[in-house]
């Protein structure tokens, strides 16, 4: 990518880049090559690199700073005041915990016929671990469906968003994470809402 197009990309940078274009093999060098230098860094002794993206700050995690291979495994999402919101995790979930999702994509004949809900994808970063099923329904309406293991999902923009197992109307399960897949069934990232 030439310098001009990298600058244009950085100007138009949005959170979808951090969902679509990063995986567990991406390094910060790759990121700089693709979207330019970070917006800045903070910390004394150990410096944390970050990008300003809209009204969010997306920063590296300490695990990346101390990693020998510098691969991005986790990115931290903060608001402009540097208050923690959530983290993006790029490690593919354990297949024993996602067999129901794999089966869903394998058996669905026309998966893209499921009605899409259009939202700003950054709204997903405003959720937190105090949200219950009814809170999600108040925000996004009824889920697009429920798959094996009592897992609800939404078809949002060009993604399938899967919620934790047993995250249902009658349960007392609160939101800990969501799993984001593209429409082809490829895992993109998890969003965790713990501190």
Bridge partners (DSSP) of residue 187 are: 181
pLDDT higher for 53 or 95?
53
Instruction: Render pLDDT for 125-170 as a digit per residue (tens, 0 to 9).
Output: 999 999 999 999 999 999 998 998 889 999 999 999 999 998 999 8
**Assessment of whether the complete model's pTM goes beyond 0.85:** yes
> Where exactly does CATH 3.30.1450 map onto the chain?
3-89
CA distance to 12, 148, 174, per residue, from 9 (Å): 5, 40, 36
- Second CATH level (architecture) for the domain 3-89: 2-Layer Sandwich (3.30)
Write the pLDDT tens digit of every residue in 61-99. 876 656 667 788 899 999 999 999 999 999 988 887 899
């Amino acid at each position: 990518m030439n310098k001009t197009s990298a600058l244009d990309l950085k100007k138009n940078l949005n959170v979808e880049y951090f969902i679509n274009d990063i995986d567990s093999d991406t390094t910060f060098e790759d990121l700089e090559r693709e979207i330019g230098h970070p917006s800045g860094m903070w910390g004394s002794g150990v410096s944390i690199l970050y990008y300003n993206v809209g009204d969010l700050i997306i920063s590296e995690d300490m695990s990346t700073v101390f990693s020998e291979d510098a691969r991005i495994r986790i990115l931290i999402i903060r608001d402009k005041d540097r208050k923690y919101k959530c983290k993006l995790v790029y490690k593919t979930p354990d297949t024993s915990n996602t067999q129901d999702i794999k089966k869903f994509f394998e058996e669905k004949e026309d998966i893209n016929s499921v009605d899409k809900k259009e939202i700003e994808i950054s709204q997903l970063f405003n959720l937190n671990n105090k949200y219950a099923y009814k809170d999600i329904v108040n925000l996004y309406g009824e889920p697009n469906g429920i798959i094996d293991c009592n897992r609800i999902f939404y078809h949002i923009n060009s993604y399938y968003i899967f919620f934790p197992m047993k995250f249902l109307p009658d349960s007392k399960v609160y939101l800990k994470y969501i799993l984001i897949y593209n429409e082809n069934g490829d895992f993109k990232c998890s969003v965790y809402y713990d501190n």
